[in-house]
Amino acid sequence: MVRRDDPAAAVWAPAVAEPAPRELCTDCGVSRMSDPKQCGQACQFIKPDYPAMELRVHGRTRDPARSDEEFFGPFRRMVRAAMKTPRENAQWTGITTRIGERLLETGAVDAVLTMAPDPLDKWKPMPVLVTKAEGMAECRGMRMGYAPSLALLEPARAMGYRRIAVIGIPCQIYALRRLEQTLGFDKIYVIGTPCSDNTTTASFHGFLDLLSDQPDTITYLEFRADYHVELRFTDGTVKEIPFLLLPISKLPPDFFPMTCRTCVDYTNTLADITVGYMGGQGEQWLLVRNQRGEELLELLGDEVKLSEPGSAGKRAAPVKGFLKNVELAAGGLPVRGMPNWLRPFMGWLMPKVGPRGLEFARARVEMKAVETVLHLRRQFPQRMKNMIPAHVWALVKPYGLEPQDGERK
């Protein structure tokens, strides 16, 4: 049970300061720390330096001879993976929270900093420090939204924790890595998940309202790699909706905040290990990025089954179509230009002929890069030269998007 006020509880959520309001900000928690000015150097949305950070964290930058590193960042190996016994209430099979449990069980860390569901709203993430392995079960599953997890680093240090693990989404992990050496911990393990198309929990409730006339009964939602959204309900029923049949046109144009349309690190390139699904063809997809990532995966021993990721289909046409739709949407949501009668057929066809496995993951990373360039150009052109790393420009070049005057350093 999450305790807001009790550091001795298995899952503790200390109170944190109110944030300073900022323009492009996902409230990762830095602005609530004792020195909010650290945002200037820590923020992914101000002046990120991915090559320098990759060098520091992984000992090298992306290797041009390994073409997938241009999409996914440095990695030692990529694998398809699943827990042999999937964990109840996990988003996929629970690899992420099981790693947290193992770190606590083996005494490798004093605490895991991650998100639990807010007791007042199960879809709202609430930052917590988990100090006992059994507490990780409460954190399973994905919640839509962001919350100030890094603000708990200072309370963690004040409690005397010296070795911690952080589970986080890319905008949180970038800031964590920037500050890592000043935080005073002996060791920080970083478990990242990919993240895209996030929105505030309040907006997300509006989406749930469109998906069901009993939105409170939805317990699970995932945008799967087979072009379907999976919904699970309290009575055990499961509903699968093809992406093309989602009520996207009914969402307000600002449903996705500008942060989440323009962030530049879909696959959490500065984590020791990234635990996602989009290259996994129905299973999970791990990117082991450095030696510490190997240690984290080893903690799972033979509880996890691993295999080679597959890849099929061609991404160029869907990415071109996406670019056209983002341009046509002129800042709104890119609704696919297609007659309604064709949508069910295309929804059936896409999982069979569209990009699959690693090609699906490459397509999604390219689409995100396209969005970053087009949305910043439209709304924050002055930010482009500092915010867009070279690898993003390289990803969009095949689609005819190149930096214009003043857009690149």
Ligand X SMILES: Cc1cc2nc3c(=O)[nH]c(=O)nc-3n(C[C@H](O)[C@H](O)[C@H](O)COP(=O)(O)OP(=O)(O)OC[C@H]3O[C@@H](n4cnc5c(N)ncnc54)[C@H](O)[C@@H]3O)c2cc1C
Q: Which residues bind ligand SF4 (CB under 6 A)?
A: 22, 25-28, 30-31, 39, 42-43, 45, 146, 169-171, 175, 195-196, 198, 259-260, 263
Length of the chain: 409
List the structure tokens of 165.
């693990």
Region of 1-9, 144-152, 248-256, 338-346 interacting with ligand X (CB under 6 A): 144-152
The nearest distance, CB 11 to ligand X, in angstroms, is 10
Interacting partner of 145 out of ligand SF4, ligand X, none (Cβ under 5 to 8 A depending on kind): ligand X
Q: Which is nearer to ligand X, 74 or 135 (CB)?
A: 135
Interacting partner of 144 out of ligand X, ligand SF4, none (Cβ under 5 to 8 A depending on kind): ligand X
Give the integer Cα–Cα distance in Å for 245 and 256.
Answer: 18
3-class state of residue 128 by DSSP: strand
196 binds ligand X (CB under 6 A): yes
195 binds ligand X (CB under 6 A): yes
Residue 225, burial from CB neighbour count under 10 angstroms (0-12, 13-18, 19+): buried
261 binds ligand X (CB under 6 A): no
- Between the alpha carbon of residue 22 and those of residues 43, 173, 287, 341, the distances in Å are 11, 19, 32, 44
List the structure tokens of 292.
């510490």
Give the integer Cα–Cα distance in Å for 406 and 376.
Answer: 13
Q: Is residue 223 within 8 Å of residue 321, measured between CB atoms? A: no
194 binds ligand X (CB under 6 A): yes
115 binds ligand X (CB under 6 A): yes
Q: Is residue 286 within 8 Å of residue 333, measured between CB atoms? A: no
Interacting partner of 115 out of ligand X, ligand SF4, none (Cβ under 5 to 8 A depending on kind): ligand X
For 278, phi then psi, to 5°, come to -70, -15
Interacting partner of 91 out of ligand SF4, ligand X, none (Cβ under 5 to 8 A depending on kind): ligand X
Tell me which of 145, 347, 354, 389 binds ligand X, using CB under 6 A. 145
The nearest distance, CB 139 to ligand X, in angstroms, is 4
193 binds ligand X (CB under 6 A): yes
Nearest in space to 111 (alpha carbons), one of 2, 1, 12: 12
Interacting partner of 90 out of ligand SF4, ligand X, none (Cβ under 5 to 8 A depending on kind): ligand X
CB atoms within 10 A of CB 64: 9
Site for ligand X in 77-106 (CB under 6 A): 90-97
Tell me which of 2, 82, 137, 275 binds ligand X, using CB under 6 A. 275
Which residue's structure tokens are 């478990």?
A: 191
Q: Which is nearer to ligand SF4, 115 or 350 (CB)?
A: 115
Q: How far apart are the first and last CA of the chain?
A: 49
The nearest distance, CB 371 to ligand SF4, in angstroms, is 10
Alpha helices (runs of H) in 83-184, residue ranges in sequence order? 95-105, 153-158, 170-179
Interacting partner of 30 out of ligand SF4, ligand X, none (Cβ under 5 to 8 A depending on kind): ligand SF4
